[in-house]
Amino acid sequence: MEKRVVFRSAWLPYALLAPQIAITIVFFFLPAAQAIWFSFLVQDPFGLKTEFVWLQNFKELFGDSHYLDSFKVTAVFSVLVAGFGIAISLMLATMADRVIRGALAYKTLLIWPYAVAPAVAGVLWAFLFAPSIGILTFVLKRMGIDWNWIIQGDQAMLLVVIASVWKQISYNFLFFLAGLQSIPKSLIEAAAIDGAGPTRRFWTIVFPLLSPTTFFLLVVNIVYAFFDTFGVIDATTQGGPAGATQILVYKVYHDGVKAGDLGGSSAQSVVLMAIVIALTVVQFRFVEKKVQY
Amino acid sequence: MRFKVFGAALFAAGILAAPAAQAQTEIQWWHSMGGTLGEKLNALATKFNASQKDYKVVPVFKGSYPESMTAAMAAFRAGNAPHLLQVFEVGTATMMAAKGAIVPVSKVMADAKEPFNPKAYLPAVAGYYTDSKGNMLSFPFNSSTVVLYINRDAFKKAGLNPDQVPRTWKEMNAAALQLKVRGQECVYTSGWPSWMHIENFSAWHNVPIGTKENGMAGMDTVFSINSPLHVRHLTMLGDMSKKGLFTYAGRTNQAEAKFASGECAMLTSSTGAQGNFRANAKFDWSVNFIPYHDDVQGAPQNSIIGGASVWVMSGKKADDYKGVAKFFAFLSTPEIQMEWHTGTGYVPITMAAYEMTRKSGFYDKNPGADIAVKQLTNKPPTANSKGLRFGNFVQGREVIEEEMEGVFAGKKDAKTALDDAVNRGNVILRKFEAANK
């Protein structure tokens, strides 16, 4: 039997929803509609001359090999960020869950990076890894590694992945910890009595029971990698070197704001919109079915 | 709208009732000069405001060059653009093409009957902001160029004569090798890769960056930076990079920090870095002409400028433009130019200001401060060396830099990289042409 709250008033639910809907319309639907409209236009940055060109912008976009490269970069980047972000925080949460003494201190410290803005996280890591003055660069040089992300694309990618993951771990950690604490201790104790070791208990009991949390975090992390990492990239590599860290959302910003190509940039954001809608649908329709609640 | 008019009428009535001293016309000036430069700019505005009663220039810092340009574009669309906008040199073509959004400086000056002689400005400076018919479109404000800095102490340590600065790329390579052999970790680095090694390189060797006088004579220009000379130069840089004689530091001025700290012994970067070095470099250094390839006929020609100019936005009242013209006349005076030049390290934009600074003895006390002007006026500018005007060059320059990075990283050969830069750059040019038909 589902619990349901039923509104008897005809207007009250709408009135309560109105502020949220108004915000959604003004800040999401209107700009999105404008982006779709702009994606069919070619115009100069001052808006003096506007020409309707149908799908010209999209045609140019998919004919541009660098745009296609940006897809690859985004795929690699989001898989790495979501993968490492979830794996590391799950490990940390499992460990923190078992700590008895000083647990609060550990948890607080682990949650801390979440309060750091993406741009600040980016700058922080960029300093640590700075090609000529970074402390970590110094250590790497001692180990004989030529570290220079200004010019080495792979290293630049590694840098933005590290900064993005570091920043997201806290968020994931919080959810995993809450998820772990809601798993009934009796289940784990029963398994322990039956002779299952910690590893086995984790994979056969804890991990499946955590799957709703993991699934939720997968969605959130991919969206994070797609959009919120903008600050990290803008503050460090700015998409370089040679486009090695130019993820889709950064290219939208770059082409629209820095390069003044509103039509091309709008077409890109329409593509991005379609990707995110598709991803969300796939995740909820197919992945969710396999999740045990 | 009606309320606005009514409100404005009420407001005007209020002003009329107030003492006449209140009737000052405000001139909004959006700029991108942060830190010390911002203070110097504010000082100029304050001085102008104190010099007369009718107009008040209000400088507003709007972030980096691309940021303030974007902000002005959005403001223009919304109908409240500033009167004046400082735009960096690569944004010139974009501003020029926006005919309805800007008023040419020559027209502003003529309408206000302010004395204005374009010939008074350094040709390499004025040429950059003048259309093919000879009308000056924007007001040159802060101009710099690229020069070669050397660490004299590092030269001495490596057994090189610091007074014999490499003049050619051949000598540059020889000096670099000697420095390297004698244990200098980072030998040569460069800021602004495209500005130095493509744009200024072309002007310095009197070869075109693009057809149609580097885009100045028409929007149907195409890039020509994959010429044998360009390929040869980039190949050389790639080799130097491989041998550890050239260290790439990034697309803007990151290289300057490497020189200032003493890490790198030679640097090509903006003249604007001198202030920083004077304050922070703990070694003896000098400013010099950028190197050239001595087998190229006519080289060295003259270098081209960077920096920014001030654009006048359209749609303001006629009286406002009179104030703008007065302000420009004020900025052009040799005294003000000298103050700006000596205070910031930017180039003096008129010959009179240069002469005045020379006579004041500033260059004797600060050797090298006049190198920029000497280099810009080395020879009368040709069609290849008076500047460049490519649409969406913010994007174009990044394409060039991306390809150069491929060479420095050893992933691409110079020929392929420059061919790709030309092809990709031309796509951007065609797109700009289509949007500005």
How many contacts (CB atoms, under 8 Å) link A and B?
86
Mean pLDDT lowest among B189-193, B248-252, B328-332:
B248-252
A134 at B interface, C-beta within 8 A: no
A121 vs B401 pLDDT, higher one? B401
A31 at B interface, C-beta within 8 A: no
Inspect the interface and report whether the beta carbons of A44 and B427 lie closer than 8 Å.
Answer: no
Q: Which candidate in B62, B194, B392, B428 is best for mutational testing of the A interface (most A CBs within 10 A)?
A: B392
B354 at A interface, C-beta within 8 A: no
* Average pLDDT estimate for B293-299: 91
- Residue B16 has a pLDDT of 45
Counting every residue, how long is chain A?
Answer: 293
The pTM of this model reads 0.80
Residue B71: how many CB atoms within 10 A of its CB? 17
Inspect the interface and report whether the beta carbons of A264 and B395 lie closer than 8 Å.
Answer: no
A78 at B interface, C-beta within 8 A: no
Output DSSP code: residue A183: S
For B98, the closest of A48, A151, A257 (CB atoms) is A48
For B248, the closest of A150, A260, A264 (CB atoms) is A150
My answer on whether omega of the bond before B118 falls inside 30° of 0, hence cis, is no
A86: confidence class by pLDDT, cuts 50, 70, 90: very high
- Residue B312 has a pLDDT of 95
B21: confidence class by pLDDT, cuts 50, 70, 90: very low
Q: Which candidate in A132, A146, A250, A261 is best for mutational testing of the B interface (most B CBs within 10 A)?
A: A132
Q: Which candidate in A34, A44, A61, A261 is best for mutational testing of the B interface (most B CBs within 10 A)?
A: A44
Inspect the interface and report whether the beta carbons of B254 and A241 lie closer than 8 Å.
Answer: no
Residues of chain A neighbouring B93 (CB-CB closer than 8 A): none
Nearest CA in chain B to A236: B250
B402 at A interface, C-beta within 8 A: yes
Residues of chain B neighbouring A150 (CB-CB closer than 8 A): 248-250, 254
Output DSSP code: residue A283: I
A289: confidence class by pLDDT, cuts 50, 70, 90: low
Helix, strand, coil tally for chain A in percent (to 5): 75, 0, 25
B98 at A interface, C-beta within 8 A: yes
State how far residue B54 is from chain A, nearest Cα, in angstroms.
31
- Residue B420 has a pLDDT of 95
B74 at A interface, C-beta within 8 A: no
Residues of chain B neighbouring A153 (CB-CB closer than 8 A): 409
Inspect the interface and report whether the beta carbons of A242 and B406 lie closer than 8 Å.
Answer: yes
Q: Using the predicted structure, report yes or no on whether residue B19 has a pLDDT greater than 60.
A: no
B15: confidence class by pLDDT, cuts 50, 70, 90: very low
Tokens representing B415?
Answer: 């020929």
* Average pLDDT estimate for A213-241: 86
Residues B255, B191 contacting (CB under 8 angstroms): yes
* Average pLDDT estimate for B267-272: 91
B141-171 tens-digit pLDDT = 888 999 999 999 999 999 999 999 999 999 9
Nearest CA in chain A to B398: A242
The CA-atom distances, in angstroms, between B145 and each of A28, A133, B131, B200, B307 are: 45, 28, 21, 9, 8
State how far residue A222 is from chain B, nearest Cα, in angstroms.
28
Q: Using the predicted structure, report yes or no on whether residue B18 has a pLDDT greater than 50.
A: no
Q: Using the predicted structure, report yes or no on whether residue A3 has a pLDDT greater than 80.
A: no
* Average pLDDT estimate for B4-31: 60
State how far residue B411 is from chain A, nearest Cα, in angstroms.
10
- Residue A290 has a pLDDT of 61
Q: Using the predicted structure, report yes or no on whether residue A279 has a pLDDT greater than 90.
A: no
B249 at A interface, C-beta within 8 A: yes
Instruction: Please tell me whether residue A193 adopts helix, strand or coil conformation.
Output: helix
Residues of chain B neighbouring A42 (CB-CB closer than 8 A): 431, 434-435
A235: confidence class by pLDDT, cuts 50, 70, 90: confident
What distance in Å separates the CA atoms of residue B85 and residue B310, rounded to the nearest whole number? 5
* Average pLDDT estimate for B211-240: 94
- Please return the burial class of B329, using the count of CB atoms within 10 Å of its CB with bins 0-12, 13-18 and 19+: middle
Residues of chain B neighbouring A257 (CB-CB closer than 8 A): 66, 70
Inspect the interface and report whether the beta carbons of B394 and A240 lie closer than 8 Å.
Answer: no
- Residue A287 has a pLDDT of 66
- Residue B204 has a pLDDT of 97
For B394, the closest of A152, A240, A259 (CB atoms) is A259
B75-133 tens-digit pLDDT = 998 888 999 999 998 888 888 888 889 999 999 999 988 888 888 888 888 888 888 78
What distance in Å separates the CA atoms of residue B420 and residue B411, rounded to the nearest whole number? 13
List, in sequence order, every residue forming a beta bridge with B311; answer none if it has no partner: B85
Inspect the interface and report whether the beta carbons of B100 and A46 lie closer than 8 Å.
Answer: yes
B198-219 tens-digit pLDDT = 999 999 999 999 999 999 888 9
Average pLDDT in chain B: 89
Residues B58, A9 contacting (CB under 8 angstroms): no
A4 vs B76 pLDDT, higher one? B76
- Residue B225 has a pLDDT of 96
ipTM of this predicted complex? 0.70
State how far residue A32 is from chain B, nearest Cα, in angstroms.
18
A23: confidence class by pLDDT, cuts 50, 70, 90: very high
Token look-up 């030998």 returns: B187
Residues of chain A neighbouring B248 (CB-CB closer than 8 A): 150-151
Inspect the interface and report whether the beta carbons of B435 and A43 lie closer than 8 Å.
Answer: yes
For B436, the closest of A44, A241, A243 (CB atoms) is A44
Residues of chain B neighbouring A44 (CB-CB closer than 8 A): 94, 97-98, 435-436
Inspect the interface and report whether the beta carbons of A242 and B249 lie closer than 8 Å.
Answer: no
**b/e sequence A2-24, b meaning 16+ C-beta within 10 Å:** eeeeeeeeeeeeeeeeeeeeeee
B344: confidence class by pLDDT, cuts 50, 70, 90: confident
Nearest CA in chain A to B399: A242
A67 CB-near residues (< 8 Å, 6+ apart): A61, A251, A268
What distance in Å separates the CA atoms of residue B304 and residue B128, rounded to the nearest whole number? 8
A106: confidence class by pLDDT, cuts 50, 70, 90: confident
Nearest CA in chain B to A264: B431
- Please return the burial class of B134, using the count of CB atoms within 10 Å of its CB with bins 0-12, 13-18 and 19+: exposed
Helix axes B169-181, B228-243, angle to 10 degrees: 10
Inspect the interface and report whether the beta carbons of B250 and A132 lie closer than 8 Å.
Answer: no
A153 at B interface, C-beta within 8 A: yes
A166-178 tens-digit pLDDT = 989 989 998 998 8
Token look-up 């190197």 returns: B291
Inspect the interface and report whether the beta carbons of A261 and B392 lie closer than 8 Å.
Answer: yes
State how far residue A85 is from chain B, nearest Cα, in angstroms.
29
B275-287 tens-digit pLDDT = 788 888 899 999 9
- Residue A161 has a pLDDT of 93
Nearest CA in chain B to A256: B70
B230 vs B132 pLDDT, higher one? B230
Q: Which candidate in B87, B219, B264, B395 is best for mutational testing of the A interface (most A CBs within 10 A)?
A: B395
